[in-house]
C-alpha cells in the first residue's frame, strides 16, 4: 500500500492529530444503536437507522470509512456488525481502540491507519460501507471507487455530507458571510484548510460511478440553528417542508447518499 501522503492528505492528518487530542469523546450515547427512539429529521440518526435496518443475524462486515475517533464505530458494533474502521490520523485510531476496549467491543472492532483513496482491504469484502462527513475531505472519485471495490455485490455505501446550495452558499461565500461565519481553518469550528462542500458536479460524478443512487436532503431552514436555540424544532420543520414542498430539496445543505452496488 502507498504510504507517502500528498500535501493535502498530510495537512488533513496533521489537523486531525491535534483535533483528536482536543475533542475526542470519552462517552458514546447508544440510543441510536439500541432503537429506543427514531429521529428521521436528523441526518446522523437517519444514517444510523439505515444501517440498523440492514443489520441481520450473521457475520456482516461494515467499513467505517473515515472513522475518526470511533464514535459511530461503537454504534455500528452495538448493532451487531463486525466493524472495520480506517482513518488517516493515528491519534484517531488510538482513541477508537480505547473506545472499543471501554465498551467491551474490541473483538468485533478493527481499526487501521489508511488513506480513503487507497484502501488496504480485499475486493468485495464488506456488506456495507458508511462514511460520516468524509467525502468533502478527500478526493471524491478515487475514494468512492475504493468503497465500491471493497463492497460486496448488492451491498450499500451510505455517506452523510454537506453540499453547496443555491442562494445560501452564494451568501455564505460573500464577504459578509465570511465575516459572520469565518471559513478559515479552525479547531473550534472543526474546519480544515482543504475541506469543501460537495457540488452538483460531485453528485453527478458519484452517480456515474454508481447509477443506483438515492439522495435524502436535510437542512434548509435549520441553517438558522446558529441563531436559534431549538435546533430540533428547526430540523423537524425542515423535514415537513421538504416532504410538502419537494422543490426545496435543491436548497438543502446536507444530504445522505445511499449507493447500491450492482449484483
Could you tell me how far CA 175 lies from the centroid of its own chain? 29
Mean pLDDT over 156-185 rounds to 84
What pLDDT shows up at residue 261?
98
pLDDT digits (tens, 9 = 90+) for 186-197: 999 899 999 999
Is residue 183 predicted with pLDDT exceeding 90? Answer: no
Mean pLDDT over residues 21-47, rounded? 93
For 81, half-sphere exposure in the C-beta direction (CA atoms, 13 angstrom radius) is: 27
Q: What is the pLDDT of residue 2?
A: 53
Which residue shows C-alpha cell 446522523? Answer: 44
pTM above 0.85, yes or no: yes
SS (H, E, C) the chain: CCCCCCHHHHHHHHHHHHHHHHHCCCCCCCHHHHCCCCCCCCHHHHHHHHHHHCCCCCCCEEEEECCCCCHHHHHHHHCCCEEEEEECCHHHHHHHHHHHHHCCCHHHEEEEECECCECCCCCCCEEEEEEECCHHHCCHHHHHHHHHHHEEEEEEEEEEEEECCCCHHHHHCCHHHHHHCCCCCECCCCECCCCCCECHHHHHHHHHHCCCEEEEEECCHHHHHHCCCCHHHHHHHHHHHHHHCHHHHHHCCEEEEEEECCC
**In the chain, domain spans:** 7-260
Q: Does domain 7-260 have CATH number 3.20.20.140?
A: no
Amino acid at each position: 500500500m502507498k504510504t507517502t501522503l500528498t500535501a493535502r492528505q498530510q495537512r488533513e492528518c496533521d489537523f486531525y492529530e491535534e483535533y483528536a487530542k482536543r475533542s475526542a469523546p470519552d462517552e458514546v450515547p447508544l440510543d441510536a444503536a439500541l432503537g429506543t427512539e427514531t429521529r428521521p429529521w436528523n441526518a446522523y440518526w437517519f444514517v444510523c437507522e439505515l444501517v440498523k435496518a440492514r443489520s441481520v443475524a450473521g457475520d456482516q462486515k461494515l467499513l467505517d470509512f473515515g472513522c475518526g475517533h470511533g464514535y459511530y464505530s461503537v454504534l455500528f458494533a452495538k448493532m451487531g456488525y463486525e466493524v472495520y474502521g480506517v482513518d488517516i490520523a493515528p491519534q484517531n485510531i488510538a482513541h477508537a481502540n480505547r473506545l472499543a476496549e471501554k465498551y467491551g467491543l474490541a473483538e468485533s472492532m478493527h481499526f487501521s491507519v489508511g488513506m480513503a483513496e487507497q484502501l488496504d482491504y480485499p475486493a468485495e469484502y464488506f456488506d456495507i460501507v458508511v462514511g460520516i462527513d468524509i467525502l468533502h475531505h478527500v478526493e471524491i472519485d478515487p475514494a468512492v471507487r475504493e468503497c465500491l471495490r471493497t463492497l460486496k455485490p448488492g451491498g450499500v455505501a451510505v455517506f452523510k455530507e454537506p453540499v453547496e446550495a443555491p442562494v445560501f452558499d452564494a451568501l455564505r461565500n460573500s464577504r459578509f458571510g465570511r465575516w459572520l461565519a469565518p471559513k478559515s481553518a479552525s479547531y473550534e469550528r472543526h474546519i480544515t484548510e482543504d475541506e469543501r462542500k460537495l457540488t452538483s458536479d460531485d453528485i453527478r460524478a458519484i452517480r456515474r460511478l454508481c447509477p443506483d443512487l438515492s439522495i435524502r436532503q436535510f437542512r434548509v431552514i435549520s441553517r438558522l440553528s446558529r441563531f436559534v436555540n431549538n435546533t430540533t424544532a428547526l430540523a423537524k420543520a425542515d423535514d415537513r417542508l421538504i416532504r410538502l414542498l419537494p422543490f426545496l430539496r435543491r436548497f438543502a445543505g446536507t444530504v445522505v447518499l445511499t449507493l447500491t452496488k450492482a449484483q
